[in-house]
Each structure stands twice: as structure tokens, then as C-alpha cells.
Structure 1
């Protein structure tokens, strides 16, 4: 039966759509059949003719995926410089990458990738001795699609628990091993999702999971998250339920954390991606209850540190840009909180290490770092290597040296060893990559959005660029979930810059660059602000002659895929190429899949009210594709194992766009098999994907050959 369906669907490639004589390559899309599914929201009927594509387990959906990939890769195979882009990506990527070290027990651990290894390898050494492999994820599966997703050591470093992801799925397995002997100790723990691993001494650890959903593991709804305690040497079936599981009060996301001194267990419980309840248990007192610190979800709060019973809490309660407060664990409620590092005009992201607090601030999306002692006294401002993004500054209390990283859009990330007492630091590792950042420049501009709000944007390009409106440009955005886009070097973007491309990243509302108020300004019935900010960014780039609509591509993934889908349907005239990746594209049904209901803080749901339904329907990319409109050349990308944003979003969007699109530009979907939302993707798959994305983009901007062939050692088209 499966073969018959595949033959029928593939055969329709030859007969469904007319050839477009004015297109760069003639395309015949697979014919996607329709069903008579109609949903009614507040007396409004909404057809969903491609609902059958939501069934990720059906042979028919599998055949459709194969048919679409057949058309897509036939197109991509004919781009004359696609292989050259792939080869150049491999050249750029092929340099040693070294992670900052961390100490566990008698060993110092660090991650290293020789260059093109699909997954980085975890090594360890004693003192200055020779390094040995501790975990090599490249051996987890033959095709490199099983990745190391998490790692946690017991307090003395003698035991380790690590989680793995298979095929990019958010579902995890946890494996426990004796770290010193590198021996697996017990049966693998299974069916774990959205979980950390937090040890209590050497006896066991806390983790989180959902009940196994009914139906498809990859798409069925999961909304009852729980915290368990696993005692080493006992079967998973005997794990103790610590929090969650009561039908009268569900929590979609819960997590547990044990303090460094093993004194306290804290539990965060939330139903959306913003705000959490906070609970505390004194593990030093047998039978101590789990008490509420915060019994509402009006803020995002967590315990970052403690000294005895004195707790240090990071919170945005009554502080949209975050602050750190102190309180005694005996009376931890907000009425007893005392400011430790007060809120400022810039967003705070703190860490601890070496007996100090490091307060990293975003100043117009650029890093500034201040060092404080445990009394709240400012020690110094850390002089960073330049303007960009700093990260790290973490470690155990007794460390005298800790590490941090620094990068920006044109500078590959380097790591530095920092002396916490003197503030001096030195380069620990600097990459040797075949890319000269001195040939490029990156600067920040501020432009007005539709309502006059000033939006910052970083623009990066090769020095000497002529502003003639003909530069191939990628405008990348996200704009949601309090996520901040700060400057960071990307090997894949380096090849774009080499080809004379412009790379522009605006900090849209909905993100976290200016705190909670900036985030809220891009949520629910204010979501259009995000799209307006992105549209205004495109208009600025065109007005200033960086590019023009014929040379502009818009790109984003996940919530950024929604951004691209909304903007390309609202303003198809504004860009030549649209690149929505793993996007949230059906805004009426997103909350019915996996943990999607937890995104309602940002989006609202179609079931909330008629007003919310009408607003969502008004911008939902799937529901705003119009008959007879010429849309930009579009390459939709997704993974068949994406259980974060299920691929049905992309499937239905592609089918509808192919049906209604009038123009001659190609509308394709590239579906990566045995891949998820992106995390843990093997390097070889990443390189292939970006060669396709950049090749598709340049080709549909009219480039018959690559703009800059000089960077290729053995160029062939």
C-alpha cells in the first residue's frame, strides 16, 4: 500500500502544475489532495484542507515528503555553484574548536572538535597530563544523528549522568556511568523531555518528564510535566515523584535544581514560556516540606546562589530588566526580599564563579560585565576585548581562574582565562580559521518602526562595499519569547559575507534586549509590532541602498519562521527570497501539538476569545496566503523528527503556497529526514543544508555564477 501511494504522489509531479516558461527552472509540484475538514471558532468556519498532513505516522504523509523532496532536490541539484558552496563551507568549518575547560573531581574536562566531526568529543585530563576521550557522541550512531544533549556530574565528580537525543528529538534518554572507571552503571532511563539533571550528593539526581502521550510521540500534546528523583542502583520504575502529576493543577514545564552545597532543592513550575512559580525545600532537614517562594507566574525568578540559609534570587518581579535580591530561606517570600544588585536601565543576566557575581548587561544588545563580591560591592568592570557578546564567567566557588568567551558578527569566538582576584585575563583559545575579520565591518544603526519606535540593527559586510542597491542581503530576525539576538560569529554566515553579501540583524520587539516591557510589546494582540519592525528594517536597508527588493532575502527559524511567513504574506513585494525554517505557521492550531500550548503567553490561542481568534487568523501565515498573488522564491526547511514545532506547520504551508502562488518563482520545501528542531544536527547535514539555502538564495537573486570566486581553491561551476 505504501509503495502504491508513493507512486501515485510522485507521478503527480509530472501532471499537476504548468511549466513556468519565465522561471529559472521549470517546476511541477506534487499534487496535494484536499480533505473536507472545517473547524469552527466563535461561529466562524475555517477550512483546513491539508489536515491529513498532520499525521506524521501515515504512509501517505511519508510519500508526500518523498515527493516534495524529489522536486526540491531536483531544483537544487541544478544550481551551478551549489557544490562549490558546499566545498567552501567544509573548508571554513574545518578548523579545531575547543570548549572552555571545567573541573569535576580530579579531572579537567573539555570539548573538542577536530574540524568536521559531526559531534564534538568530550575529553579529560588530570593536571597537565595527556588527554583521553571521555565521551565521543560520534560513536552513538552510524549517521551521527544521535547527539549528546546534556551532562551532569555528582558533587564529588565520581559519577556522571548524560542525556542523548536521537534524530534531533526533544525526547531524551539518560545514561548513568562511573566517571572514574568510565563504566555504565545501570539501565538507561527513557521517555525524558525538557529536563536538566541535578545531583543530590552521589546518591541520585532529579530530572523532569511527561507521561508518554497518546498517539504520535512526535506531535501529540504533552502538558503534564513532572519532577522525579532517581536513586542510583534502583530501576526507573521506582523513581520518586517529587512534584507535579495532580490533575487539579497542571504545569507544562517544571525543573529542579540542587544548590552547590547540597542544602536546598528549588523547583520552577510554569505553564507558559514566561513566568514561573518557585518552590524551596531544605534538604538538610529530613522530611522538610516543599514551600512556595512565589505562588504565581507573574515573574521569572530563580535561585542563583546561597551562603548557608541566605538565598540570592534573580527576578524580574517589579523589575522588568531583572535584579538580584537576598532573603533568608526561613522566610523566602517577596515581602522579605532585599535588593542585592538593583535593577538598572539595562537587562541583567548574571552568573557566579570563583566566589564572585558577574553581572552581564545588554547595552543596546552589546555586552557589559561588572564583577561584584558576595556583599554586593562592585569590584570592577571587566574590560572586554571589543564590542560584541561575552559569555561564561561561571565556575565553582573555590576556583581562582574562570573562563569567558567573546565574539561578534565578524569575529570568530575566542575563549579567555580570567583571574577573579586581579581581573587580568589571557587568551585561552583562539580559532585558526580561513577567514580574515579585518576585511569586514559591523556597525549598529537605529531605524524607526511603523509607530515610531526606534529599533537597533547590526549590519555586517565587506569593507569597501558599494551601496548601489545590488548587494545580496539576508535580513535575519526572531522577535519573541524574550530571546535576545546578540552579536555572534557564524561559520555559515562567513561564506555569505565572502560573497559580498550583507547580513543584517534587527533587535525586534518581542525579544528580551530591553527587558520585559520590550518582550510584552511583541506579544498577543501586539504581535504585529514584530512584523512591522522587520518590515521597517527591510525598508531601511532598501532606502539606504544596501540592497533592493530584487536582492533581499528574509530568514528566521521557529518563532522566526513565523516572522518570515507573516512578513512574506503581508509584503510579498518587499523581498526576492523567503527562507522560513521550522516555523510556527498555523496560528490556529499550534497549541494542540506537543508542548505548544506553553507558547500562549506570546501568542494567545484561538480558543481564548473571538478577539484573539480574529487577531491570530489575521496574521497566521497559513491562513493569509491569497489566491493569485506572486510570492517570493521560497525555500521552507524543516525536519521530519521536529517535535518542538511539528513539521505539519511547514507541510501545510508549503502545500497551500504551491496551490495558490501565481508567480514564476519556485516554492519549495526541503525536509531533512531523521532530524529535529536543530539542536544536535550533524555537521555534514548542516553544511549540506546551508549550501542549499545560500545556493537557492543567490540563484533566485539572478546570480548565474558566484559573485566572489577568489576564495575558492579549486573553483568549478
Structure 2
């Protein structure tokens, strides 16, 4: 090393150390861990943050206090929180569903921690509380995860999540008396509850990891069990999975007519095997309908010997096919609803199929009979996102919801035979749709690909480059970001903000090809699409670097982490939420190995290792670089994307940040990956997010 290099290096180290000391960040325990991949040594100095050690716990507590101290100095933080509470405080009711002699629905009076499940007797018309999750725990941090009734509607089983964990418990009750009738099942994970008559139900789980690794240990071999009512959980019969048929993800369901047991088996988040067993004929063996993991296939309905399968086999935009239980293999599949140029989604109810077509992330709905004959196109209230239309075969009153970025979700009731619909429940939100604009634009990414983006803001906003803007996206796992109203975004826009959502590659907006274009060795397309969206907004005057915030959660957290390390000059603020941030070790924790279809792993090949390392956020934080003002968001009970990702990324950023932009870790206690959080937790987090963004942009309200 020559003298000039020595001076430069010393200056770089001084700069990073200076700002780290000036900000007085908590000091994480640093080690000398070195891993070798294909003869390449990779340092992992903050490896201890993966462990639930006393040193890690101490550091986490210090980070929590540091972050809260910083946020407490924002003068309008309480004002934002009060604005959120005010707009949040409206009655929220879900679409009803019928089970036995009752009609059930969820309702939240406004600011209740969890929504309450009510039921009305169909004849007596009396209404009562059926389940109140707010009574599950003192602070509302235990949530209702799953609920399933037997066909008669007289028995029910529901699962609960404590502190947001993916590990659940199942409680079994007499639905008539609401009293528990069996021992609670424990250690249940990634599971449905599928009843077989009055005997019991099928559920899924893994062997529990060793003591001390419950929230991080790998969960690799899923198992489907049958629990017979009145027996011990230790006596539950293994139906599928385990050592004999090792699969990472297993889902069990029973057809509405109770004839078929259906198993979907997968080793990754894309592609699955499909098995079926005829319970009517007391068949002992499963029939395998789909072999291998190259396609996606799910049975969405049955009719006697006929099976209706929703699949991307020879149809990257999806199709609905029919086959017969006596000869169900793919060569015998016949189209009911063929593939088109637009991505298809299918639900069944009232004796019909409802096909939802996604056109540039906007929905169109058509109704078909069971032969595939078009009945009608469903008239929709506007351009946006539609969900629902599902129901039992005999139910003619079905429900669907409509929403977009500036229209609160409204529930409609529709008659399946006539197609006539009417408003069932319109929320009374303090928000005037007419005051806002939601526009769709198309921009060009680095490689010339056209990408759609929705931009939302208040009318009268001047495109002078000074508008605080949140750029939010996801870009993975075939998940489509469609227009959806959020009271959080409403408050952001009310305070002069722009909310922009690009439909980048890796998602499912344009089918399997769009998804695959953002996976493995093409993953950087996702980041380039996101960067191009930010540049478009800045070039067109919606905002500028000093007024832009990058935001995303989970895989979207990776999106933000990779973007801010690739282009630290793109935005003023960054919010990597519950992100996958260590791309060399993500597959070592919980169910992370199942994400390999999208990411690949560092063990796959030298090429894959080098590619992952080239964008892995933890491994690309550099000294002498000014990163955005950053709030890393995670939770101490996140056992899906373990908080170690966020811990290590935060420690790297705090150590190497070379300017005065703060790096905070907002660590939620008694919370998981996101689902099941109390209303108070959600409001507090979003108040902090909005306040931090505006404060760092120099905006006062």
C-alpha cells in the first residue's frame, strides 16, 4: 500500500468513525467470523447478532431506546399520531359468511386492538359476540389467525398467534355453546384447518426447533396430521410429509362436498405437486395429479367425479381446466376458462366461476358457468382492485369488495343468478375521494422495459420537485401490488405527500414471465425498475432527491436495502421494513430455504454466489458513503424474516455512515412479521414513519 492509498484509507475510516461517534450509536459486539464460498473469503463481523445472546439483547434494548429518544425530538410526531388515530377511528365491517344456522362477520368499532367476530342467528335475528381476540391477551398482541367450521357449522377450530409468531395454537370449540371441547393443539405452523365431518380435522406443522432457536431455527420438513376429536395431540396420525415424503410446505384441504382430501406439496414458494384422496371410497392411497415442482396447480372446486384445477401449466397467465378423478393427469385436462393475454384469478360461489382479469394491475371480472360459458361481465364501480365472489355452492348472495388508492374499500352484495349488485357496507372514513388524484403512468426501465406506476396525491399539488414522496414497491414472489386504500397514505397525502407505487418485475402483474424476469440471476431487474421509477418522479417534477423516501417490507425490505446501497444518492429517506438483507445466509433461518426460487442460494454455484454478494445489502455497505436517513423496521418475534437481517444491516450502516443522516433501528416488541399486530402498534409505527420522513426532509407541519 503506497502513501497516497494509506492517507485515503485513513480519511475514509476517520469519516465513518467520526459520524458514528458523533451520533453515539450503541456498539454491537463485533467478531472475526469469516465464511468461505467457492474459495472466496467473506467477513461477517456482526454474526453474533444472529444469536439470542445477552450481548444481542443488551444491544437491542439500547437501539430501542436510541431510536425512541431520536423520534421524541420530532415536534409534530404526536400531531401525526393523533391525525392517524382520528382517521382510523371508524367502524370496519367485513363481508358476512354463513355457517350452519348463523351468519358471521368481523367488526372493529374503530380503535380496538383486534377485530371482533360476531354472529347473527338466521331465523331469530339475534346478534352476539362469537370470538373476541381482544380478550386473548392483555395488550391485544395475541391475534386470531385461522377459523374453520365443520360442514354442519356446529363445531369450530381456530388458531391464535402470540406476539406475531408464525407458531400457532389451535383451540377447538362447540360452536353452539362457544365452549372449548378438546385440548389445545400446540406448535402448529403454516397451517390451515380442514374438517372431515364431525370426526376431526387436518392441519400442518413442523418439528419444533431446539430450545433457544424457536424464532430462528430452520423449519424444513412439513407434516400433515389428522387430529381426531377427544384424542391427545401426541396420538395424531401423520397423513403426509415427514421423512417419507419430505416437503418444505404442505397444505391440506377437504372439498366442499367432503369427498376429497387434497394435498398441495412444495419445496419453494413457486411450483407444487398435487395429490388427492377419495374419502368416499375409503381410498388408502393418494393419487398424484401433478408431479415435480415446475408448475403451479390448485383444485378450486369439485363436482362429482370432476375436478376443476387452476394452473399455469402451458399457461403463464393462468387458466382453469377440468379433469376426472378416474384419470386426472395433465394430458387429460380440458380448458374451462382458457388463458388470455391478461393474468387470470378464479373464485367459485353460487354454482358459478368468477374470473378476475388483471389489466395493467386493474381488475375486470367475468362470470362463467361450470361448463365455461360466459354468463356476463360484472359491472364494477370504477377502476381498481376487486376481491371476493367466493361462497358455498348453494349460496346465491355473494359479496365482493372494491377499492383503489383514493377509494376506501366498499363491500357489495351481488345476486349470482341475476348479476345485480348493491352496496352492502360503505365505510364512513373522514376522507373525500374527490379531493385526490390517482393516475397511472408508464415509464422505461434501464433495459427498455415498460413499467406501470400509480401516482396518488391531492388536487392542486404543484409539480415543482418539492413534494414529499413515498416510493413503495415489492417486486417478488409473484405478488401483485394492486390499488388499495390506506388511511396511512391518506394522512400522508393530506399533509402534502405523494404516494407512488410502480408494478416492477418479480411481481405477478403480467404473469409468470414477469415474475421470472425478477428472480435469481435477473433479480437486479427489480432494483433497476425501482430506481427508474424514482428517476421518473424526479425528472417529471413530482419530487426530488431531497424529498423522496424509499419504502418496502419483507422482500420489499430487500428492495429498499439493495436500492439504497446501489444508489445512495437516489433518495433522502429509506425504510427497509422486516427485510431479507443478508442474501448469503437467508436460507439458514426458519423457512428461508423455500425462497430459493426467487433468490437462488450462495451454495448453488459460484456465479449465483457472486451475483447475490454483488447486491446483498449487508455486504454492500461501504465507508466514505453518505446513505439516506434510514429507519430500519423489524420485530423481536419475527420468525419469518428473522430480525438478524435488520440487526446486521443496521450495525453496518451505523458503523460506516459518512454523513449526518441518522440510521435508526425501530424494533417492535411482542410483534412478528406484520400480521396480527394490534391497532396501537400499527398506528405508532406509521406515525413514526411519516414523522421521520417529513422531519428528515426538513418539512414542518
- Shorter-chain TM-score bucket reads over 0.9
Runs of at least 4 residues of structure 1 off by over 4 A?
A: 16-21
Match of 1:386 in 2: 382
Q: Which runs of 5+ in 2 are unaligned?
A: 1-15
Deviations 1:241-274 (A, max 9, x none): 0001126x52110011100001111100000000
Residue correspondence of structure 1 range 458-477 to structure 2 within 5 A: 458-477=454-473
User: What is the CA distance between 1:20 and its match in structure 2?
Assistant: 8.6
Partner of 1:7: none
Equivalent residue, structure 2, for 1:553? 549
Match of 2:227 in 1: 230
1:341 corresponds in structure 2 to 337
Correspondent of 1:502 among 482, 498, 501? 498
Verify: 1:243 aligned to 2:240, yes or no.
yes
For residue 213 of structure 1, report the CA deviation from its aligned partner: 1.3
Partner deviation per Cα, 1:294-346 (whole Å, 9 max, x = no partner): 11111110101111001100000110010010000011100111111000111
- Alignment partner, residue 220 of structure 1: 217
- 1:142-541 equivalence runs, <5 A: 142-215=138-211, 216-246=213-243, 249-541=245-537
- 1:362 deviates by 0.5
Range 26-35 or range 426-435, more displaced: 26-35
- 1:472–1:500 contact (8 Å) kept in structure 2: yes
| 1:93 corresponds to 2:88 | yes
Matched, 1:83 2:78: yes
Q: Is 1:67 aligned to 2:66, yes or no?
A: no
C-alpha separation between the residues in 2 aligned to 1:375 and 1:341?
9
**Is the 8 Å Cα contact of residues 478 and 515 (structure 2) preserved in structure 1?**
yes
1:117 equivalent to 2:112? Answer yes
Question: TM-score, structure 2 length as denominator?
Answer: 0.97
Shift of 1:40: 0.3
1:286 Cα deviation from its structure 2 partner? 1.6
Q: Is structure 2 residue 618 aligned with structure 1 residue 630?
A: no
- Contact 1:28 1:71 (C-alpha < 8 Å) held by counterparts: no
1:608 equivalent in structure 2? 604
CA distance in 1, matches of 2:363, 2:291: 33
CA distance in 1, matches of 2:551, 2:635: 17
| 1:714 counterpart residue number | none
For 1:153 and 1:191, locate their aligned partners in 2 and report how far apart those are by CA, in whole Å. 21
1:187 to partner: Cα distance: 0.7
1:577-616 maps to which residues of 2 (within 5 A)? 577-616=573-612
Give the C-alpha shift of residue 214 in structure 1: 2.3
- The equivalent residue for 1:698 is 694
Q: Is the 8 A contact 2:277 2:283 kept in 1?
A: no
Quote the Cα distance in structure 1 between the aligned partners of 2:431 and 2:205. 43
Q: What is the deviation of 1:445?
A: 0.5
In structure 1, the partner of 2:13 is none
User: 1:20/1:604 Cα in 2 relative to 1: closer, same or farther (>3 Å)?
Assistant: closer
Counterparts in 2 of 1:20 and 1:200: CA distance versus 1, 3 Å = closer
Instruction: Name the counterpart of 1:11.
Output: none
Map Cα deviations across residues 481-501 of structure 1 (whole Å, 9 max, x no partner): 000000000111110010110
> Counterparts of 1:318 and 1:559 in 2: how far apart (Å)?
28
1:336-374 C-alpha deviation (Å, 9 max, x unpaired): 111110001111110001111000111100010000011
* C-alpha RMSD of the superposition: 1.1
Aligned to 2:615: 619
**CA contact under 8 A between 2:27 and 2:59: conserved in structure 1?**
no
> How high is the TM-score relative to the length of structure 1?
0.94
Report the Cα distance in structure 1 between the residues aligned to 2:174 and 2:126, rounded to whole angstroms: 20
Residues 445-499 of structure 1, C-alpha deviations (whole Å, 9 max, x = no match): 0000000000000000001110000000000010000000000001111100101
Distance in 2 between residues matched to 1:88 and 1:556, nearest whole Å: 23
Contact 2:88–2:110 at 8 Å: present in 1 too? yes
Structure 2 Cα separation of the partners of residues 135 and 90 of structure 1: 25
1:434 offset after TM fit, Å?
1.0
Other structure's SS at 1:251 match: coil
Q: Is the 8 A contact 1:20 1:664 kept in 2?
A: no
* 1:654-701 deviation per Cα after TM superposition (whole angstroms, max 9, x unaligned): 000001110110011010011100000000011111110000000000
Verify the 8 A CA contact 1:17 1:29 in the aligned structure 2. no
Q: Does the alignment pair 1:663 with 2:659?
A: yes
Give 3-state SS (helix, strand or coil) of 2:533's partner: helix
CA shift, 1:19, in A, is 6.4
Q: Distance in 2 between matches of 1:415 and 1:520?
A: 34
Take 2:135 and 2:487, find their aligned partners in 1: how far apart are those partners?
25
Structure 1 residue 400 displacement after superposition: 1.2
Give the secondary structure class of the aligned counterpart of 1:191: strand
CA contact (8 A) 2:28 2:56 kept: no
Superimposed CA distance per residue, residues 621-672 of structure 1 (whole angstroms, 9 cap, x where no aligned partner): 0000001100000000000000000000000000000011101100110100
- Counterpart Cα distance in 2 of 1:163 and 1:234: 18
Alpha carbons 1:18, 1:28 under 8 Å: kept: no
Aligned partners of 1:335, 1:89: CA distance in 2, in Å?
A: 55
**Partner residue in 2 for 1:13:** none
> 1:130 and 1:411 mapped to 2: Cα distance?
32
For 2:296 and 2:209, the matched residues in 1 are separated by: 28
Contact 2:320-2:335 at 8 Å conserved across structures: yes
* CA apart distance, 1:27: 2.6
